[in-house]
Amino acid sequence: MDFIDWIILGIKIGALLIALLSVAPVMSWVERRGSALMQNRLGPNRVGPFGLIQPIADAVKFMFKEDPVPGHVSKFYYVLAPLIAFIPALTTFSVIPFASSIEVMGRVVRFQVADLNVGFLYIFAIAALGIYGVVVAGWASNNKYSLLGSVRSSSQMISYELSMGLSVIGVIMIFSSVNLNDIVRDQGNVLFHLGQFAIPKWGIFVQPLGFLIFLITVFAETNRLPFDLPEGDSEIIAGYHLEYGSMKFAMFMMAEYINMATVSGLLATLYFGGWQMLPGMHTLLESFSLSGSLSGITYEWVRIVFEMFSFVIKVAFFMWFFVWVRWTLPRFRFDQLMGFGWKVMFPLSLVNILLTGIFIKVM
Amino acid sequence: MLLKPKTSILQKIYLPDIIIGLWITIKNFFFGKKVTIQYPEERRNYSSRLRGMHYIKTINGVENCTACMLCPTVCPAECIHIVAGERPDKEKYPISFEVDVLRCCFCGMCEEACPKDAIKLSNIYEMSMLKRSVYEKDFLLEQRGHK
């Protein structure tokens, strides 16, 4: 790696960090407006057009609020916990490719911060670290509700991470790789032709059951609503972040939203073809190049922009889906949650592996 | 005894019901009639019988009140304080007439008891104040409301 490679890497990291950090404010606005409209209210609409400046007002409030440390907490771990939750959330997105590669001046630039061979295993490993933030926060807060929240969180994480890992094994079997770039590239192939439409080999078409299991477990993984027992406002007030205020609380919130972005990216990458273009965009690009208005390097850059756009659309859809489900479904009861995790999701993910094996053998 | 509700196989696998639920929320998201009243621009239409801010009715600049003390007597919250006096043009009139709004329960009994149609409750309901609110006589003599 020479100097220019480092600069390219720096630009990629910077752009990704800015994108991820701006996810949280944007999503908080989407969440508030979305929930309001679903509940026949209007939501925040005073600050700026459609209330779009509201997240900035929130951020200013978070920063300038008093940041007290309650007297009864274990101070070191209390301060450490938001960081433990926040840093893994920021690092996990690095292996998700958001466009294919481009050749500029003899260099192949990949639109992915780290092209790791272990691929999404890295995401699972680091995302599982994030749960320590929740556990430490609950324990250090020295508060019954917080401790209950973190205990729930860890037990939920163990029972759902298992099915999550097993559901992804189907994807590994189909694409015979854990490298996300390879998986996405393979999803560009055509699975079969349906009349004049070519059905691409997207994960959703070859792994429908696996997708469903992964989708559900991902909700549990990010503590979103049908599975938000660690927070459970009406039962344990706010769970693990009960004792936190101002920016420390904001860090938990941001970690939650960034985790949502990461798993949305993972969902898009594994099951919806990642940066593979949306239906119709390919034809559009072809018509551009055939008419001769685009050629050479310009064509390549337009292709990259199209791919990024497709990826962002897919991720945005799943982000919206998280909000949508949150304001639709009520919370599970804890025993139902455990029963669902161990008696339904776990056997189903095993069945999925079996079915995938049969599918591969038959095809 | 624990009664288990009968559920069909479709309900047991949750998914169809979840999809119905998602459909309901997205329907409300796009087409639901929004019930929010955007307060400073839009206001709720209250009944004209609403009992709001107090005032004392005047005719040609002379207050109707004759300090008969019926309203402080009937007031259940004991929030009206009147000091009666005499002046050339009026045999008996209130020197001071105070309504302690923090105690007032807006029952409207003073209005009902008043034989001279003097103390009235207008339909103004925006009554926030920057200081402790005891309505003095000068304040009460401003004619407000349309009753």
A214 vs A127: which has the higher pLDDT: A214
CATH of residue B74: 3.30.70.3270
pLDDT of residue A293: 67
Average pLDDT, chain A: 84
Q: Looking up tokens 């092209």, which residue turns up? A: A115
**Weakest-pLDDT range from A152-161, A274-283, B69-78, B109-118:** A274-283
Confidence class for position B76, pLDDT limits 50, 70, 90 = very high
Q: Using an 8 Å Cβ cutoff, are A208 and A198 in contact? A: no
Residue B53: name the closest of B97, B132, B106 by CA. Answer: B106
Task: Residue B33: list chain A partners with CB under 8 A.
Answer: 40
Cα–Cα distance measured from residue B74 to residue B58, given in angstroms and rounded to the nearest whole number: 22
Cα–Cα distance measured from residue A111 to residue A311, given in angstroms and rounded to the nearest whole number: 12
Cross-chain residue pair B29–A42, CB shorter than 8 Å: no
- Closest to A324 (Cβ–Cβ): which among B22, B33, B36? B22
pLDDT of residue B146: 59
CA B109 to chain centre: 14
Cross-chain residue pair B29–A328, CB shorter than 8 Å: no
Measure in Å the smallest separation between the Cα of A361 and chain B Cα atoms.
Answer: 29
B79 domain-assigned: yes
pLDDT of residue B29: 86
| Percentage of the residues of chain B whose pLDDT score is greater than 90 | 8
pLDDT of residue A294: 66
pLDDT of residue A295: 67
The DSSP secondary structure of A229-245, one letter per residue, reads TTT-HHHHTTGGGTT--
| Percentage of the residues of chain A whose pLDDT score is greater than 90 | 1
Q: Using an 8 Å Cβ cutoff, are B93 and B84 in contact? A: yes
**pLDDT surpassing 70 at residue A98:** yes
Cα–Cα distance measured from residue A184 to residue A99, given in angstroms and rounded to the nearest whole number: 10
A328 CB within 8 Å of a chain B CB: yes
pLDDT of residue B147: 58
Cα–Cα distance measured from residue A324 to residue A31, given in angstroms and rounded to the nearest whole number: 9
A317 CB within 8 Å of a chain B CB: no
pLDDT of residue A175: 83
The SS3 of residue A190 is strand
CB neighbours of residue A152 within 10 Å: 26
Q: Which two tokens stand for residue B129?
A: 């104040």
ipTM for this prediction: 0.76
pLDDT of residue B73: 92
Burial of A278 per CB tally in 10 Å (0-12, 13-18, 19+): middle
Measure in Å the smallest separation between the Cα of B70 and chain A Cα atoms.
Answer: 47
The SS3 of residue A1 is coil
Buried b (16+ CB within 10 A) or exposed e, B121-139: bbbeeeeeeeeeeebebeb
Measure in Å the smallest separation between the Cα of B134 and chain A Cα atoms.
Answer: 34
Cross-chain residue pair A41–B36, CB shorter than 8 Å: yes
B118 domain-assigned: yes
**pLDDT surpassing 80 at residue A284:** no
Task: Residue A42: list chain B partners with CB under 8 A.
Answer: 34, 36, 38
The SS3 of residue A314 is helix
pLDDT of residue B74: 92
- Closest to A38 (Cβ–Cβ): which among B29, B36, B38? B29
B58 domain-assigned: yes
- Could you list the residue range(s) of the whole structural domain that residue B103 is in? 54-141
B147 domain-assigned: no
Question: Residue B2 gets which letter from DSSP?
Answer: P
B13 domain-assigned: no
CA A126 to chain centre: 13
B31 domain-assigned: no
Cross-chain residue pair B29–A41, CB shorter than 8 Å: no
Say what angle helices A296-326 and A3-38 make with each other, to 10 degrees: 40
Cross-chain residue pair B28–A324, CB shorter than 8 Å: no
CA B92 to chain centre: 31
Residue A27: name the closest of A278, A319, A315, A275 by CA. Answer: A319
**Weakest-pLDDT range from A19-23, A213-217, A285-289:** A285-289
B129 domain-assigned: yes
**For residue A6, what are the contacts with CB-CB under 8 A and spacing of at least 6?**
none
pLDDT of residue B127: 83
pLDDT of residue A171: 85
**Weakest-pLDDT range from A212-221, A285-294, B38-47:** A285-294
A56 CB within 8 Å of a chain B CB: no
B41 domain-assigned: no
Measure in Å the smallest separation between the Cα of A331 and chain B Cα atoms.
Answer: 13
Measure in Å the smallest separation between the Cα of B41 and chain A Cα atoms.
Answer: 12
> Where are chain A's structural domains?
68-362
Cross-chain residue pair B25–A42, CB shorter than 8 Å: no
Cα–Cα distance measured from residue B63 to residue B73, given in angstroms and rounded to the nearest whole number: 20
Which of B29, B36, B41 is the mutation pick for testing A, counting most A CBs within 10 A? B29
**Segment A39-84, tens digit of pLDDT:** 888 888 888 788 888 888 888 888 888 888 888 888 888 888 888 8
Cross-chain residue pair B21–A327, CB shorter than 8 Å: no
Q: Looking up tokens 């909700």, which residue turns up? A: A219
Q: Where are the beta strands (DSSP E) in B12-122?
A: 54-56, 58-59, 62-63, 80-87, 90-100, 119-121
**Segment B93-146, tens digit of pLDDT:** 888 888 888 888 989 899 899 998 888 888 888 888 887 778 888 888 888 765
**Segment A104-114, tens digit of pLDDT:** 777 777 788 87
